[in-house]
Copies of this chain bind each other. A is one copy, B any other.
């Protein structure tokens, strides 16, 4: 299909498509004439991936580039792809590394029995996030962390179960799915909070006989 047809098929303007081509986010089409190239289903899929990561995943184009570089890299062993893409996503977030909190995060992960490689960038990241929580609102004690980790294990098990086969497509699904479903999980958490708040408020109203407001 022509560039204009790729635009119609994906709902992305030709100006944006040309930008993706210039930035090598999108592979060039097959040249047909001096001014025209032919695009195929792989281009449609790649454009949809870019838009999904930007629109729904909330990633910047710089972050999209990192994910795509990881996906396209032939030197990354397949079983490491998920980790590499995760690190690429994380790199964009700035945080102040704190040795004490990194050690605390590492100790927690070890106590859970999680197999995480030494020096994983996620460990100082987790440490910095826990430090921010402790500094600001005294949340994130051991009991809370354990409940969060329980929830994370449920989600991660589900994540890996949705990987049918172990081909690159499945891993791509896992990466994109993780970015997009982070948002779903945030929304579900807020809905579940509202549900629980409503329950607790009703219970309080019932017990103190407050009839209005």
Contacts and interface: CB of A to CB of B under 8 A. Distances in A.
30 contacts: A52-B136, A56-B128, A56-B133, A58-B93, A77-B213, A79-B197, A79-B201, A114-B192, A114-B194, A122-B187, A126-B188, A129-B180, A129-B181, A130-B184, A133-B184, A136-B177, A139-B162, A139-B173, A140-B181, A149-B188, A154-B154, A155-B192, A156-B192, A156-B193, A156-B196, A159-B196, A160-B193, A160-B196, A178-B189, A182-B189
Given A147-B155, A193-B82, A213-B77, A180 B136 contact: yes
Query: So how many copies of this chain end up in the complex?
Result: 2
A148 B192 contact: no
Contact of A152 (B82, B109, B149, B191): B191
Q: How big is the A interface, by class?
A: 35 or more
Interface of A: 48-49, 52, 55-56, 58, 77, 79, 82-83, 86, 90, 93, 109, 114-117, 120, 122-123, 125-126, 128-130, 132-133, 135-140, 144, 147-160, 162, 166, 172-174, 176-178, 180-201, 204, 213
